[in-house]
Copies of this chain bind each other. A is one copy, B any other.
Amino acid sequence: MSITVVGSIAYDTVKTPFGERERMLGGAAVHFALAASFFEEVCVVGPVGDDFGEPQLEVMRARGVNVSDIERVQGGRTFFWQGEYGWDLNSRETLDTQLGVFEGFQPKLSDSSRASDVLFLANIQPDLQREVRSQLPHARFVALDSMDLWINIARDSLVSAIEGVDCVILNDAELRQLTGKPNLVAAAREILTWTPSDPSGPGRGPSVVVAKQGEYGAALVPPESFFALPAYPLESVVDPTGAGDTFAGGLIGYIAAHPDEAISDELLRRAMAHATVLASFNVEEFGTERLQRLTGKEIVARIAELHSMTQFTSASLSLRG
Within 8 A of B (CB), among A42-97: 63-64, 87-89
With a CB–CB cut-off of 8 A, which chain B residues contact A309?
Answer: 225-228
Q: How far is the CA of A115 from the CA of B51 in the complex (A)?
A: 75
Count A-side interface residues using an 8 Å CB cutoff. Answer: 62
- A87: chain B residues at CB < 8 Å are 182
Q: How many copies does the complex hold?
A: 2
**A185 within 8 Å of B (CB atoms):** yes
Stretch of A24-32, A141-149, A156-164, A300-308 on the interface side? A300-308
B296 and A320 contact, CB distance less than 8 A: yes
- A313 adjacent to chain B (CB < 8 Å): yes
Check if A237 is an interface residue, CB within 8 A of chain B: yes
A-B contact pairs, 27 of them (CB 8 A): A38-B319, A38-B320, A63-B321, A87-B182, A88-B176, A89-B182, A183-B234, A183-B236, A184-B215, A184-B233, A185-B233, A185-B235, A213-B216, A225-B308, A228-B310, A229-B230, A254-B317, A257-B317, A266-B312, A269-B313, A270-B313, A273-B312, A273-B314, A295-B321, A296-B321, A300-B319, A303-B314
